[in-house]
Structure 1
Amino acid sequence: MARETTDFRGIVIYRRDYRERDLLVKMLTDKAGPAMFYVRDGKKRGFRMASDLLPFTHGTYIGALADDGLSFINAASETHQYQQIAGDLSKNAYASYLLALVDHAFIDNRPLGGWFDQVAAALNLINRGQDEQVVTNVMETQLLTVFGVAPTWHQCVICGRADRPLDFSEQYGGMLCNQHWYLDAHRFHLDRRTVYYLQQFATLNLQRVNNIKINPLTKQRLQLTLDTLYNDQVGLRLKSKRFIQQMNRLEQKMGNLGRRD
């Protein structure tokens, strides 16, 4: 089990108690992807890195990264917590789901390539007040490829045309143009605006985004499309996702009650 002591950028995904005084801290790192860190005396009062290892904290760390098994943290510097995410229920829920999704998508202790910067950019946007659902939808769209689902978004999978109205087909794994809609009676029947955003999301570099605004109806259609793909094609049902769905149903119910009053 090789370990290399180095500096790395990290984002705390979660932490849990381990034994009486220690912690296990799951982090997303730029050099080793998701990694589980053993922190001796992490629960001890006055532990010097206590604030550096809180959920939704990001920064630079020094430690021993393992090829397999547990890694170790020796020091931290320039760490900051995503305070708006930590203090807002909706932002917290979507950020938790996003990090859980990334944790399941990638193998522990393996480099992420450019994905670390994309995830960090997503969290920065949510923390700055951009629509947490839309930012998460962008990441959901792009992570489909990591889960082994690679939809063809930009052209018809049959004839390759992109200049005709398109609709998504699970059966064919991508878009069908209107000349081939007859091939799948169960196509999604997406409107053009939803198709457009899915195409944009598939390649969007969040590091270059300052502002994202999408109308509520299109947001609903985007979420329904992505939920269907994750349920049917990926088969991933995370607790953090169920919490978001429960939260949204409650908000909708409260909104309906308010309109009746």
Structure 2
Amino acid sequence: MQTKKSRGLILYNRPFREDDKLVKIFTESSGKHMFFVRKAGKSRLSSVIQPLTVADFILKINESGLSYIEDYQEVTIFKEINADIYKLAYASYIVALADAAISDGFYDAHLFSFLVKTLELMDEGLDYEILTNIFEVQILERFGVWLNFHECALCHRVGLAFDFSYRYTGLLCPKHYDKDERRSHLDPNIFYLLDRFQSLHFDDLKTITIKADMKKKLRLFIDDIYDNYVGLRLKSKKFIDDLDKWGQIMK
């Protein structure tokens, strides 16, 4: 068992016997691990083990079993996210997505930084739906899915009115539409935006404005991609899907 100091994000916690808890933390230096907290309700750790909390931790990491939290400092809580049911739903979804994308104990400092930065921007008031889309698109490779939204899969031309082909696992330009009669027949602007999302720097996000109807088109297509290529069904995603039905009442 190693003692390490690392920044970490609380993914979730759950009861474990009486008042004990198991706490899943995504650490910057050692990946995800499950931590045991004894008598969590009375513990000085009770406030810092809540989901969507970031802190600098001193941890005892066990590679083959439960790990332990020794101490913490520099706590960050996303107040705006926690105060808004919509932001909280989307934030919980990308956290669950990151959890599903890599194995426990797998070192991925880039994903950690990307996740925390996305949460910070949500908390600052940037468009949480578009931030979620960017996050979904950029972590597809961690699920073993490599999609090119920049060029035609057959002739590699760029900058055209593309459509998506599941048959060719990529885009088709107008010259090659006839190669797949069952192509998606979608708005070409979807693929222009997804191409930007794949390499977008967060500073550029402040200059992007996307209308509500295009957001819906993006949402439906990204859902199709995850259904067809990833096969992931997260409870947090279903919660988002149900938000439009009753979210306004809760809000």
Category of TM-score, reference length = shorter chain: over 0.9
CA distance in 2 between counterparts of 1:59 and 1:217 reads: 38
Of the candidates 158, 168, 173, which is equivalent to residue 172 of structure 1?
Answer: 168
CA distance in 2 between counterparts of 1:213 and 1:116 reads: 27
Once the 2 structures are TM-superposed, how far is the Cα of residue 217 of structure 1 from its aligned partner? 1.0
The change in CA–CA distance for 1:73 and 1:94 in structure 2 (over 3 A counts) is same
Structure 2 unaligned residues grouped into runs of 5+? none
Once the 2 structures are TM-superposed, how far is the Cα of residue 67 of structure 1 from its aligned partner? 2.4
CA contact (8 A) 1:16 1:24 kept: yes
Q: TM-score, normalised by structure 1?
A: 0.90
> Equivalent residue for 2:228?
232
> Equivalent residue for 1:136?
132
Over residues 182-202 of structure 1, what are the superposed CA-to-partner deviations in whole Å (9 max), with x where a residue is unaligned? 112222223232111100111
CA distance in 2 between counterparts of 1:5 and 1:251 reads: 43
Query: What is the percent sequence identity of the aligned residues?
Result: 37
When structure 1 is superposed on structure 2, of 120-129 and 28-37 the one drifting more is: 28-37
Once the 2 structures are TM-superposed, how far is the Cα of residue 113 of structure 1 from its aligned partner? 3.3
CA distance in 1 between counterparts of 2:35 and 2:209 reads: 37
> Equivalent residue for 2:65?
69
CA distance in 2 between counterparts of 1:181 and 1:131 reads: 34
CA distance in 1 between counterparts of 2:166 and 2:230 reads: 12
CA RMSD of aligned residues (A): 1.8
Over residues 136-173 of structure 1, what are the superposed CA-to-partner deviations in whole Å (9 max), with x where a residue is unaligned? 11011112111111111111111111143211112211
Q: In structure 2, what residue type is equivalent to 1:94?
A: Y
Q: TM-score, normalised by structure 2?
A: 0.93
The 5-angstrom pairing of residues 46-61 of structure 1 reads 47-61=43-57
CA distance in 1 between counterparts of 2:64 and 2:40 reads: 22
CA distance in 1 between counterparts of 2:203 and 2:24 reads: 24
Over residues 64-88 of structure 1, what are the superposed CA-to-partner deviations in whole Å (9 max), with x where a residue is unaligned? 1232332211111001211111111
CA distance in 1 between counterparts of 2:99 and 2:155 reads: 36
The answer to whether structure 1 residue 85 and structure 2 residue 77 are counterparts is no
Structure 1 unaligned residues grouped into runs of 5+? 255-261
Q: Secondary structure at the match of 1:60?
A: strand
Of the candidates 95, 102, 119, which is equivalent to residue 123 of structure 1?
Answer: 119
CA contact (8 A) 1:121 1:207 kept: no
> Equivalent residue for 1:221?
217
CA distance in 1 between counterparts of 2:119 and 2:109 reads: 17
CA contact (8 A) 2:35 2:66 kept: yes
Q: In structure 2, what residue type is equivalent to 1:243?
A: F
